[in-house]
Each structure stands twice: as C-alpha cells, then as structure tokens.
Structure 1
Amino acid sequence: MEDSHLVGIIDRLKVMQQDTGDEPQPRRFEKDGVERARVVYHQDSNTYTLYEFNPDVSFEFDNIDLVAIELFDLLSDN
C-alpha cells in the first residue's frame, strides 16, 4: 500500500510549527518539478499563509487541516 500524500503534507506543516527560529521558514511544494505553492507559518499568530502560483493568489489559514487539504488538492492529479 502506498503512503498517504496527505500525511506527508501534514508532517511538513507540523515541522514548521515546531521551528523556534526568529524568521519563518517557507516550504515549497512542487509537482513534476514545478513549484506550485509556498507556505509560511507565522508563530506569532499561529497561522499559515499559502501562496499559490498560476494564478498568483494567497490565503491565510488558522487550521493545519485546511491548509493541508488545499495543498493536497493543488498537487493532486484531479
């Protein structure tokens, strides 16, 4: 059985929450070698900013599940 892609996304997002550095560390999400989105976690507000490319839009999330689902949809073959 193949591992869940959603679990992998959530794991990456959780690592961002645990980062204790002074500056947010963005994470890139790619499909077929093309960057589709970038996510930044903001410790001070406990929110994620998702920057989608093509079209260029951004979203704020305060729930890890919602940002993970949005990323999964963006990266899936559907």
Structure 2
Amino acid sequence: AIVKESMCLYPATPLLLPHESMEPVQLAGFEVPVGSTLFVNVWKIHRDPTFWTDPEEFKPKRFLCSRNELTSFG
C-alpha cells in the first residue's frame, strides 16, 4: 500500500509513452482523428479529486482493500 500510494504521489514519469489513434473516436467530448498522437498525463490523473479523495494527501490505507494485486513496479 505504501509503494502504491508513493507511486500515485510521485510517479516515475508524469506522462506515459505516446500512443497513436488507429480509428476516429470521441473522447471526453473531443473528436480524436485517426493518426493523432495521444499522451496520458499520469501525474494529473493521480491528483484528480474525481478519482481520489484528498489526492495530495499521503494515505496508503486507500490501497489496503484494493482488489488489484499487481504491483506498480512489475
């Protein structure tokens, strides 16, 4: 839980590797055309109060009941 919470607050990289859209898609109200380069901002997602309660607070307990048993580092 401590490692997962640490990775949320301080991700190893703020952006994931770029991805390219293979087909047109609507994403959050935006039209993404074929061939667009997409970046996922992990840092922003981990600080979004829509997904996390008190996202800037260190609270490892939020991961104690996690059903996802994969570790963040491998």
> What is the TM-score normalised by the length of structure 2?
0.31
Larger strand proportion, structure 1 or 2? Answer: 1
> What is the TM-score normalised by the length of structure 1?
0.31
Larger helix proportion, structure 1 or 2? Answer: 1
Higher Rg of the two aligned structures: 2
Q: Which has the higher contact order (CA 8 A, sep 6+)?
A: 2
